Structure 1
Amino acid sequence: MRDRVPVVVQTGGVRSTPARVLWAGAEAVVTCGVVLLLLVAHQLWWTNQQARAQAGRQVQALEREWEGSPAVLPSEVPAQSPAQSPSESAGAESAGAEPSVSPSVTETQPAGAAPSAETAYAIIRIPRIGLTAPVARGVGKRSVLDRGYVGQYPGTASPGRPGNVALAGHRNTHGEPFRYINRLRKGDRIEIQTRERRYAYVVDQVLSQTAPRDTGVIQPVPRSLVKPSYGYSAPGSYLTLTTCTPEFSSAYRLVVWATLVR
């Protein structure tokens, strides 16, 4: 009687069809996760690094340009000259999710040649939150805000002048200069330096939340149209900071008001 020889069949590790499907699905999930992680890192980290570096270089460039023309605080100079330049009206540029407050306002502008749009002309400093950033005219996302700059709504007052200097800045990503303005309290100091001098403002009111289209907050005499108990009723020299709130959302706007130190 012959011995039976056992036959061993080797599959070579070939997976069944369900296993292949599960493996392919797992690879797809991992790939998508890696891509999303890279996108988040780019948006939350890399854009900040780029914008802060660019804004820092601009601040240094302005400071070098102004060397030899020392700035002085308003308390060290006479009151503003009665001579005023003509008023002009301009529609503020709505720029995506950040500064969607976009009214048409009439404001006094400084005499002489004004800086061209989207060109940094001033430096804002807020000691409370450790902020130093360039200020440019205009609130375009790509041309101003995404560069880490603080943007000035077109048609609003120039620093130190009667009226309302209305500024916007990102709260998250692209340098996020206004990320911590919610920490500002009454009495905190805000400085804006131009070629001519350094102006000092003191925080007076904080509106923690209002609608994106609350155009009253950046008018010459700023007052919320949504919450009329916030704002002012008489002309003066005001500074307005606006940004999105809550963080990582553009649902509402956070507003900080300050008044010029005389």
Structure 2
Amino acid sequence: MAAEVLTTVGVVVALLVVHQVWWTNRQAVAGAQEQVRALERAWEGGEGEGDASLAPSVGEGDGQGAGVVVGGSGGAGGGDVRASPPAAGAGGGTGARPAPAAAGPARDEAYGVLRIPRLGLSVPVAEGVDRRAVLDKGYVGHYPGTAQPGAEGNFALAGHRNTHGEPFRYLNRLREGDEVFVDLRGRRYTYVVGKVLAETSPGDVGVIAPVPRSSVRPGYGYESAGSYITLTTCTPEYTSKYRLVVWGTLRSVVSEAR
């Protein structure tokens, strides 16, 4: 009898793992790709002309909590990804003229597409890093309070390493010189990877500061103001013990005619 109970429990646990690791991935990937297509259709059709998502801005924060937790959940069970990062500041350029500030997108709204050719990745960018409303959908989330694409400061993003679409599963494969594109309606922002921090603590708020520099490992990061992108996720895989960070600098902004 005891053996039968243990067998049943084992089967249930295995099914739960399959659901979490496989099924949630399928659902999130499918939903994220449909959202990418929906954004592209809207941009081609000129929907929402002149709305707040067109231009870069500095966010006001999402009010999700006072603690700073950097990066998306990496473990199969998910994790806390709340953040109240420092506000983006002014500074010089890093290869392209920063765009002017404007009102930002609504919380949890998908408003852009992140494309990383080396990883074969195209994924929606949404405002905020709420786990259920953003990250578990397979999106990457923009840290409120950090710069928007093209603006002076640090455009900082979080994404899952494992489960729920795992858009940043292979973030560790990025190398210096790799291109990262951020598409908004009518504009493409091109960033170039410059630095990688393979491991830091979840509370290392310095990595998403306006001038990104690790407060845990001060030898990693930048010293001059400019226009940066930061990609964060959990490491090692299937855990949320540490954070993996990739930084890049803005190279160009191209307006795309519809």
TM-score (norm 1): 0.80
**Does structure 1 residue 49 correspond to structure 2 residue 26?**
yes
Alignment of 1:34-113 (within 5 A): 34-67=11-44, 89-90=60-61, 93=64, 97=79, 99=81, 102-107=84-89, 111-113=101-103
For residue 87 of structure 2, give the secondary structure of its aligned residue in structure 1: strand
For residue 123 of structure 1, give the secondary structure of its aligned residue in structure 2: strand
Q: Deviations over 1:90-119 (max 9, x none)?
A: 367458725355433245796444321100
Would the alpha carbon gap of residues 121 and 91 (structure 1) be closer, same or farther in structure 2, given more than 3 Å must change? closer
Give me the identity figure in percent. Answer: 58
Work out the CA distance in 1 between the residues paired with 2:100 and 2:79.
Answer: 30
1:240 aligned partner, one-letter code: T
**Does structure 1 residue 132 correspond to structure 2 residue 122?**
yes
Which residue of structure 2 lines up, in the alignment, with residue 26 of structure 1? 3
1:90 aligned partner, one-letter code: G
Which residue of structure 1 lines up, in the alignment, with residue 214 of structure 2? 224
* Structure 2 counterpart of 1:248, from 235, 238, 241: 238
Q: Is the 8 A contact 2:57 2:147 kept in 1?
A: no
Q: Is the 8 A contact 2:43 2:185 kept in 1?
A: yes
Work out the CA distance in 1 between the residues paired with 2:208 and 2:227.
Answer: 12
1:32 aligned partner, one-letter code: V
RMSD: 2.2
1:105 aligned partner, one-letter code: A
Q: Is the 8 A contact 1:208 1:253 kept in 2?
A: yes
Q: Which has the higher contact order (CA 8 A, sep 6+)?
A: 2
Q: Deviations over 1:211-242 (max 9, x none)?
A: 10000000000000011110111101100000
Q: Is the 8 A contact 1:125 1:190 kept in 2?
A: yes
Which residue of structure 1 lines up, in the alignment, with residue 256 of structure 2? none
For residue 104 of structure 1, give the secondary structure of its aligned residue in structure 2: coil
Work out the CA distance in 1 between the residues paired with 2:57 and 2:162.
Answer: 37
Q: Is the 8 A contact 2:87 2:209 kept in 1?
A: yes
Work out the CA distance in 1 between the residues paired with 2:116 and 2:25.
Answer: 19
**Does structure 1 residue 148 correspond to structure 2 residue 138?**
yes
For structure 1, list consecutive stretches of 5 or more residues without a partner in the other structure.
1-23, 70-83
Which residue of structure 1 lines up, in the alignment, with residue 52 of structure 2? none
Q: Is the 8 A contact 1:49 1:175 kept in 2?
A: yes
1:125 aligned partner, one-letter code: R
Q: Is the 8 A contact 1:88 1:107 kept in 2?
A: no
Which residue of structure 2 lines up, in the alignment, with residue 117 of structure 1? 107
Q: Is the 8 A contact 1:89 1:106 kept in 2?
A: no
Q: Is the 8 A contact 1:242 1:256 kept in 2?
A: yes
* Structure 1 counterpart of 2:160, from 153, 170, 177: 170
For residue 90 of structure 1, give the secondary structure of its aligned residue in structure 2: coil
Shift of the alpha carbon at 1:66? 0.6
Shift of the alpha carbon at 1:30? 1.1
Q: Is the 8 A contact 2:211 2:223 kept in 1?
A: yes
TM-score (norm 2): 0.81
1:104 aligned partner, one-letter code: P
Work out the CA distance in 2 between the residues paired with 1:255 and 1:112.
Answer: 27
For structure 2, list consecutive stretches of 5 or more residues without a partner in the other structure.
47-54, 73-77, 91-98, 253-258
For residue 105 of structure 1, give the secondary structure of its aligned residue in structure 2: coil
Shift of the alpha carbon at 1:160? 1.0
